[in-house]
Structure 1
Amino acid sequence: MYEGRKFPQFYITASSPCPYLVGRMERKVFTHLIGEDAARLNDTLSQGGFRRSQNIAYRPACEQCSSCISVRIVVDQFHPSRTYRRILGRNRDLVRLEVESRATSEQYSLFRRYIDSRHSDGGMAEMTVLDYAAMVEDSFVNTHMVEYRLKPRIRLAGPDPRKGELVAAALTDRLADGLSMIYSFYDVDLSHRSLGTFMILDHVERARALGLPYVYLGYWVPGSDKMGYKERFRPQERLTPEGWRLAE
């Protein structure tokens, strides 16, 4: 139960075409994440199946559909499969950097190439550099950017990993009980690295090191190719009307 100074006001959007399932319509319920209680409210709502976008927390509220299912990886029980271990091995030359949630031209360039290649017909296709900056920087919660860079082959002025090429990045919230991956993107020309999968695996290891029990992946949507990959990260809990339950 939320114990902030003021109970948040919730709103509902008008119906619009669903981005995940053809022929479906979606509506969302949302509230604002602003002020000194924003981080605590974000924790509470995330545990209740909400997702964050800038200063908005939202969740589906569709009239005739309940396909969107919140999922989170159970960190202590997660053990990488042989396939996942190979992915981790292929990316052992990457350096992780946790930096402030500040947009850079380097990040936007990588983001733009990713969107143009993978999601050119999606809702982010028209995002300008200012839109990107708002996505990264407009927040009252505990959030940061996680950059993944190639280790520099030549050390010009000491072992500064920032000199390596940026190949992937994730905007990540730190919650009271886990890490929530808000949005991630990567170099699409490096498909052999499976960077999207690698970032999730790395977030599991980060959560384990921090003593956090979960990594929140957002919504799994059965029947949606865009969201199908989330089912592969087991064991995972899924939010049901009876609460979080371990997936069979």
Structure 2
Amino acid sequence: MIKVALTPPMPCSYINEQQEQILVVQDDDLHNQAGYEVLLLNGFRRSGNDVYRPHCQTCQACQSIRIDSQLFKPSKSQKRLINKNKHLEMRVSHQPQPDYYPLYERYINTLHSDGAMFPASQSQYDGFITNAWLTPTFIEFYLDGTLIAVAVTDVMANSMSAMYCFYDPELLAHSLGTYAILQQLIIAKQTGKKWLYLGYQIDQCSKMNYKVKFNPHERLVAGKWQC
């Protein structure tokens, strides 16, 4: 049994005129790499040190989605994107770097000014990205030596979780969010991680619909993972 707390109803960040409630894990024994992998399997996701799952009374729109890295086949458009961005340099870091926050700030304040994380601040960034009980992996992308994107990735024994990605808002043509997922899938396959978790799919939210373009994928529906 997972110990959780339920937040009071509040306006939904994704669907107008809906109220959302969140289950927040209260069991410290699960706040570690192995425990988090179990929580991901059960539809939870982390934000900073907290692990949560939507638990709304009148809406089931949020569905956890994951991709089997061993079975994933990029579509024609995804192959074109990989080829288009082949000149980008990728690096991996296991601790946040000073140049992350300025990029995050521009990303949030330019592309998500209508969201709950606007306006960006250093304290909000630290509380959202960093974690005291799990060391995130930071997959960095560079164009001509300049940092243009960071994919924050949680790595477990048998899976990875695409926690968040932020990028240069002036480079929308490079589809860096999608490209980052493609690279995460390549890394997952190469390192023997079966699943890449993408968080929640919300069909009614157009900003989420990029996730269903990675196939084959599974969704957690009524407590069961379904293709």
Distance 2:103 2:110 in 1: 11
| Superposed CA RMSD | 1.7
Report the equivalent of 2:137: 144
Separation in 2 of the partners of 1:44 and 1:129? 30
> Structure 2: how far apart are the matches of 1:131 and 1:103?
16
Q: How does 1:100-119 map to 2 (within 5 A)?
A: 100-104=94-98, 106-119=99-112
In the TM superposition, what is the alpha-carbon distance from 1:8 to its structure 2 partner? 5.3
- Residue 68 of structure 1 pairs with residue 34 of structure 2: no
Classify 1:35/1:241 alpha carbon distance in 2 versus 1 (closer, same or farther; 3 Å). Answer: closer
Deviations 1:129-161 (A, max 9, x none): 1221233333302422111112x4xxxxxxxxx
Counterpart for residue 157 of structure 1? none
Q: Which residue of 1 aligns with 2:37?
A: 43
Residue pair 2:130, 2:136 contacting (<8 A) in 1 also: no
Sort the Cα spacing of 1:140 and 1:33 in 2 relative to 1 into closer, same or farther, 3 A. farther
Which among 210, 235, 241 is matched to residue 216 of structure 2?
235
Deviating more after overlay: 223-232 vs 46-55? 223-232
Q: Does 1:19 align with 2:19?
A: no
Q: 1:36 to 1:50 in 2, by over 3 A?
A: closer
Alignment CA distance shift 1:66-1:112 (3 Å): same
User: 1:50, CA displacement in angstroms?
Assistant: 0.3
Taking structure 1 as the reference length, the TM-score comes to: 0.86
1:37/1:188 Cα in 2 relative to 1: closer, same or farther (>3 Å)? closer
Instruction: Give the number of the structure whose alpha-carbon radius of gyration is greater.
Output: 1
After the TM superposition, which of the residue ranges 21-30 and 129-138 deviates more from structure 2?
Answer: 129-138
Give the paired residue count.
227
**TM-score by structure 2 length?**
0.93
Q: Distance in 2 between matches of 1:120 and 1:37?
A: 31
Unmatched tracts of structure 1, length 5 or more: 1-6, 153-163
Q: Secondary structure at the match of 1:227?
A: helix
